[in-house]
Amino acid sequence: MEQDLTSIKAAVAKDEIRWDGPLYGEKKQQLYDEIDVFLFPTRYSFEAQPTVIYDAFASDTAVTSFARRAIEEQVQVCIATVAVDQSFHETATQFPTGS
Protein backbone atom coordinates (compact mmCIF):
# COMPACT_ATOMS: atom_id res chain seq x y z
CA MET A 1 0.00 0.00 0.00
CA GLU A 2 2.80 2.44 0.84
CA GLN A 3 4.46 1.73 -2.50
CA ASP A 4 1.17 2.46 -4.30
CA LEU A 5 0.80 5.79 -2.50
CA THR A 6 4.41 6.73 -3.24
CA SER A 7 3.93 5.89 -6.92
CA ILE A 8 0.68 7.85 -7.11
CA LYS A 9 2.27 10.91 -5.52
CA ALA A 10 5.23 10.69 -7.92
CA ALA A 11 2.90 10.44 -10.93
CA VAL A 12 0.89 13.43 -9.69
CA ALA A 13 4.11 15.45 -9.28
CA LYS A 14 5.05 14.62 -12.90
CA ASP A 15 1.53 15.59 -14.03
CA GLU A 16 1.00 12.05 -15.34
CA ILE A 17 -2.20 11.56 -13.36
CA ARG A 18 -4.71 13.70 -11.50
CA TRP A 19 -5.62 13.15 -7.89
CA ASP A 20 -9.04 14.59 -7.11
CA GLY A 21 -11.07 14.37 -3.96
CA PRO A 22 -14.85 14.34 -3.89
CA LEU A 23 -16.35 16.20 -6.84
CA TYR A 24 -20.00 16.98 -7.47
CA GLY A 25 -22.21 18.25 -10.27
CA GLU A 26 -20.47 20.00 -13.14
CA LYS A 27 -17.00 19.53 -11.64
CA LYS A 28 -17.50 15.77 -11.52
CA GLN A 29 -18.77 15.66 -15.10
CA GLN A 30 -15.87 17.83 -16.24
CA LEU A 31 -13.42 15.36 -14.68
CA TYR A 32 -14.90 12.43 -16.61
CA ASP A 33 -14.91 14.47 -19.81
CA GLU A 34 -11.18 15.21 -19.41
CA ILE A 35 -9.78 11.81 -18.46
CA ASP A 36 -9.17 8.56 -20.35
CA VAL A 37 -9.18 6.17 -17.39
CA PHE A 38 -10.66 6.51 -13.91
CA LEU A 39 -8.35 4.83 -11.38
CA PHE A 40 -10.14 3.71 -8.22
CA PRO A 41 -7.56 1.97 -5.98
CA THR A 42 -9.93 1.65 -3.02
CA ARG A 43 -8.64 -0.21 0.00
CA TYR A 44 -11.98 -0.03 1.82
CA SER A 45 -12.73 -3.69 2.55
CA PHE A 46 -16.51 -3.20 2.60
CA GLU A 47 -16.70 -1.43 -0.77
CA ALA A 48 -19.89 -2.54 -2.49
CA GLN A 49 -20.87 -0.93 -5.79
CA PRO A 50 -19.43 2.58 -5.82
CA THR A 51 -21.53 5.01 -7.81
CA VAL A 52 -18.37 6.72 -9.09
CA ILE A 53 -17.83 3.68 -11.31
CA TYR A 54 -21.32 4.04 -12.80
CA ASP A 55 -20.67 7.77 -13.22
CA ALA A 56 -17.52 6.96 -15.18
CA PHE A 57 -19.40 4.44 -17.33
CA ALA A 58 -22.09 7.02 -18.08
CA SER A 59 -19.36 9.31 -19.41
CA ASP A 60 -17.77 6.53 -21.49
CA THR A 61 -14.70 6.52 -19.26
CA ALA A 62 -12.84 3.26 -18.61
CA VAL A 63 -12.29 2.18 -15.00
CA THR A 64 -9.50 0.33 -13.25
CA SER A 65 -10.08 -0.66 -9.64
CA PHE A 66 -9.19 -3.18 -7.02
CA ALA A 67 -11.45 -6.25 -7.21
CA ARG A 68 -13.35 -5.67 -3.97
CA ARG A 69 -16.81 -7.04 -3.25
CA ALA A 70 -19.03 -6.39 -6.31
CA ILE A 71 -16.57 -4.08 -8.05
CA GLU A 72 -15.11 -6.83 -10.24
CA GLU A 73 -18.58 -7.62 -11.59
CA GLN A 74 -19.23 -3.91 -11.97
CA VAL A 75 -16.17 -3.16 -14.12
CA GLN A 76 -16.01 -6.39 -16.12
CA VAL A 77 -16.79 -4.58 -19.36
CA CYS A 78 -14.03 -2.06 -18.81
CA ILE A 79 -10.32 -2.35 -18.65
CA ALA A 80 -9.65 -4.63 -15.70
CA THR A 81 -9.51 -5.11 -11.99
CA VAL A 82 -6.47 -5.57 -9.82
CA ALA A 83 -6.48 -8.42 -7.30
CA VAL A 84 -6.38 -7.05 -3.76
CA ASP A 85 -3.12 -8.86 -3.07
CA GLN A 86 -1.36 -7.23 -6.07
CA SER A 87 0.35 -3.87 -6.30
CA PHE A 88 -2.17 -1.47 -7.83
CA HIS A 89 0.36 0.80 -9.51
CA GLU A 90 2.43 -2.02 -11.00
CA THR A 91 -0.58 -3.90 -12.31
CA ALA A 92 -2.72 -0.97 -13.47
CA THR A 93 0.09 0.60 -15.49
CA GLN A 94 0.26 -2.58 -17.61
CA PHE A 95 -3.35 -2.25 -18.83
CA PRO A 96 -4.02 -0.71 -22.24
CA THR A 97 -5.80 2.64 -22.09
CA GLY A 98 -7.72 2.28 -25.31
CA SER A 99 -6.33 5.64 -26.48
Mean pLDDT over 29-41 rounds to 89
| Boundaries of every domain in the chain | 2-92
pTM of the model: 0.71
Residue 30 pLDDT more than 50? Answer: yes
Query: Which ranges of 1-98 does DSSP label H, i.e. alpha helix?
Result: 2-13, 25-34, 51-58, 71-74, 88-92
Per residue in 52-98, pLDDT tens? 888 988 888 888 888 888 887 777 766 667 888 888 877 777 765 54
Q: Tell me the C-alpha distance between 92 and 39, whole Å.
A: 8
Residue 99 pLDDT more than 50? Answer: no
Residue 40: CB atoms within 10 Å: 21
Residue 40 pLDDT more than 50? Answer: yes
